[in-house]
């Protein structure tokens, strides 16, 4: 048997159609894109000679009570759990504004007395918008 080795023909890729498609896409995106020039204003801000610290009164107050009975007012831990300390912290943070909404959130295992103490102190200061934070149990829906 006579087996002749034929030279393999190299496959040829026609690039013409690929170039046509790319150019059409380029033209499409150029036509459909809107070029909006954002207006820019150059502002030169004034510089302060001294840095004055201004304490801002918060828009709301939050008392958090941990399982151990530790009080946190707006995220800051109090040094002890005495009602006088809670009262002083509330007065300082509210700036005397008792119209601010006050939210009390306690750990599920916190003692009931700690929550009542926080409510009692807030009530004696004159806060009337007192909320108690709860979470919904997702298994009960």
Where exactly are the structural domains of the chain?
A: 61-135
According to CATH, what is the number of the domain 61-135?
Answer: 3.30.420.270
Query: Per-residue pLDDT for 53 more than 70?
Result: no
3-class state of residue 24 by DSSP? helix
Specify the higher pLDDT residue, 28 or 59: 28
pLDDT band per the 50, 70, 90 thresholds, residue 5: confident
3-class state of residue 72 by DSSP? strand
Question: Rounded to whole angstroms, how far apart are CA atoms 16 and 89?
Answer: 78
C-beta of residue 82 within 8 angstroms of C-beta of residue 69: no
Query: How does pLDDT run across 22-33, given as a tens digit for each residue?
Result: 999 999 988 888
pTM over 0.85, yes/no: no
């Amino acid at each position: 048997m006579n087996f002749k080795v034929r030279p393999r023909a190299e496959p040829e890729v026609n690039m013409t159609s690929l170039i046509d498609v790319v150019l059409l896409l380029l033209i499409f995106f150029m036509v459909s894109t809107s070029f909006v020039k954002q207006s820019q204003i150059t502002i030169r801000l004034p510089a302060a000679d001294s840095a004055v610290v201004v304490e801002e009164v918060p828009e709301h107050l939050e008392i958090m009570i941990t399982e151990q009975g530790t009080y946190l007012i707006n995220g800051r831990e109090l040094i002890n759990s005495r009602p006088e300390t809670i009262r002083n912290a509330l007065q300082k943070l509210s700036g005397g504004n008792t119209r601010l909404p006050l939210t009390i959130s306690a750990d599920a295992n916190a003692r009931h007395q700690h929550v009542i103490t926080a409510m009692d102190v807030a009530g004696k200061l004159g806060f009337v918008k007192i909320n108690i934070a709860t979470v919904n149990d997702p298994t009960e829906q």
